[in-house]
Amino acid sequence: MPHHPEARSTLPPVRIRSIVAAPLFGESPKGGWSAEIQPEDSIHALIAVHTDAGITGYGSVFTDGRLVQAALQVLEPLFRGENALQPERVTEKLHQNTFWMGRGGTLTHTISGIDIALWDILGKVTGLSVGTLLGGRYIDKVRPYCSLLMEMPERMHDVVAPYKARGFKAFKIGWGPFGRRNDPGLDRAIIAATREALGADMQLFVDPGASDAHWPQGLKWALRTAEMLADYQVGWFEEALKPDAIDDFCTLRRASPVPIAGGEVLTRRQSFQPWLARGAFDIVQPDVTKVGGISEQRRIVWMAQDFGVRYVGHGWNTALGVAADLQMATAFPGVDLVEFIGGSPYVDGILREPFALDADGLLDIPDRPGLGVELDPEGVARYTPDARPLFAG
């Protein structure tokens, strides 16, 4: 049909005026890493995209906030003046024009936060939640699993008890001494103590964290450990092997009596394709704050579902990351879990209305515009040297 000049868009462009980042310091939860997180370390950053319409979108990045600030300087000529209502096109522009500076690293992580914030803006302008914008809501509530660090067996009751009392019905334990002492008896004792503390009706997942520096174990350890985990009704075995050992992951997945999960260190949709095509995972765990944002994660989820692989997002992040994970959980069929760090101030302490479990241990998925959450400026200010740029729209 002929083009008519008067047939204009019903939504005028909303131009990006500036993008700023606030590194979070001081209260990063322990990671269980061999080089443990210190108070002066920044592991996460919040991002704000300010527009000429006075509307600000927010995102989260799983990267040292000082690297995020540097990346924004690099990306600024590409995003300045862009239409914030076109998140997929704008973020693909950022990916495509920075390939020569390294695909998948700090720039990709930073683009993830920008993309989340752009979807937040699109929702605020249209009055729709991100889940609705992605095509529709399959569920209104989802079960969070409480992500906690492993300790020695005699400590595991004290580790899980406060969160069980808060109403969590699913738990993931990881890192710590598991697999690092060359002591299969200790590994079993940690799992046995946790299962006893939780009871038979709670879901339990195990993540030894083989992406840690100089992980000491290999395929045979993982095969033996998978058999042991089956004795305790463990729902999945996550990051059981070094993160590039795709052949070993394929072998483990075929042999293991418990589902094999992984993918949190992969970034960009292209890097997931061989892992899905070769059958390396039962459960794939992209991280929306690292992988390229919502625009990239949605492609990975649909690709995974085409391969018959279950999606559970990796969510060791902030309240804004949880908000994005909740919107992703509702936007795809069959998603029944989101990750929730136990006791992180960056999750529990930066929203005007913190996340709260209902009587069944579920989280409501917001159906308000955008991500559906609102940052608390005073809460954010406790964890970053200067929070004002985030809110100076």
Q: What is the pLDDT of residue 7?
A: 55
With respect to residue 49, please indicate whether it lies within any of the assigned structural domains: yes
| Residues 303/78, Cβ–Cβ less than 8 Å | no
Q: Does the pLDDT value for residue 205 go beyond 80?
A: yes
Q: Are residues 345 and 268 in the same domain?
A: yes
Q: What is the pLDDT of residue 49?
A: 98
| Rounded mean pLDDT, 164-178 | 96
Q: Which two tokens stand for residue 279?
A: 């059958």
Q: Does the pLDDT value for residue 109 go beyond 80?
A: yes
Q: What is the pLDDT of residue 8?
A: 62
Place of tokens 């002066």: 40
The residue segments making up the domain with residue 386 are: 16-127+378-391
Q: Are residues 260 and 310 in the same domain?
A: yes
CATH number (domain holding residue 101): 3.30.390.10
Q: Are residues 52 and 39 in the same domain?
A: yes
Higher pLDDT, 33 or 97: 97
Q: Which two tokens stand for residue 225?
A: 């450990």
| Residues 294/116, Cβ–Cβ less than 8 Å | yes
Looking at the DSSP bridge assignments, the partners of residue 375 are 351
Q: Does the pLDDT value for residue 318 go beyond 60?
A: yes
With respect to residue 187, please indicate whether it lies within any of the assigned structural domains: yes
Mean of all residue pLDDT scores within the chain: 94
CATH number (domain holding residue 221): 3.20.20.120
High-pLDDT (> 90) share of the chain, %: 89
Give tens-digit pLDDT for 336-376.
999 999 989 999 999 999 999 999 999 999 999 999 999 99
Higher pLDDT, 150 or 25: 150
pTM: 0.95
Contacts of 19 (CB under 8 A, 6+ apart): 47, 48, 49, 50, 72, 75, 76, 79, 114, 117
Q: Are residues 77 and 182 in the same domain?
A: no
CA distance 74 to 390: 19
Closest CA to 190 of 208, 210, 167, 216: 208
Exposed/middle/buried for residue 47 (C-beta within 10 Å: 0-12, 13-18, 19+) = buried
| Residues 54/19, Cβ–Cβ less than 8 Å | no
Give tens-digit pLDDT for 117-132.
999 999 999 999 999 9
Q: What is the pLDDT of residue 10?
A: 85
> Per-residue DSSP letters for 24-91?
--S-PPP---SS---TT----EEEEEEETTS-EEEEEESS-HHHHHHHHHHHHHHHTT-BTT-HHHHH
CA distance 369 to 371: 6
With respect to residue 3, please indicate whether it lies within any of the assigned structural domains: no
Q: Are residues 240 and 292 in the same domain?
A: yes
With respect to residue 11, please indicate whether it lies within any of the assigned structural domains: no
| Rounded mean pLDDT, 278-299 | 98
Q: What is the pLDDT of residue 393?
A: 67
Using CA atoms, how far residue 9 sits from 2, 16, 85, 132, in Å, is: 16, 18, 12, 20
Give the confidence band of 244 by pLDDT, cuts at 50, 70, 90.
very high
Per the structure, the count of domains in the chain is 2
Q: Are residues 217 and 76 in the same domain?
A: no
Closest CA to 272 of 253, 296, 252: 296
Q: Does the pLDDT value for residue 139 go beyond 60?
A: yes
With respect to residue 8, please indicate whether it lies within any of the assigned structural domains: no
Give tens-digit pLDDT for 8-61.
668 999 999 999 999 998 866 766 666 666 777 677 999 999 999 999 999 999
> CB neighbours (10 Å) of residue 89?
12
Q: Are residues 385 and 335 in the same domain?
A: no
**Half-sphere exposure at residue 23, Cβ-oriented, CA atoms within 13 angstroms:** 18
Q: Which two tokens stand for residue 361?
A: 């241990």
Q: Are residues 121 and 146 in the same domain?
A: no
Give tens-digit pLDDT for 303-314.
999 999 999 999
Q: Are residues 183 and 209 in the same domain?
A: yes
Give the confidence band of 102 by pLDDT, cuts at 50, 70, 90.
confident
Q: Does the pLDDT value for residue 1 go beyond 60?
A: no
Q: Are residues 200 and 251 in the same domain?
A: yes
Q: Are residues 371 and 382 in the same domain?
A: no
> CB neighbours (10 Å) of residue 302?
12
Q: Are residues 73 and 216 in the same domain?
A: no
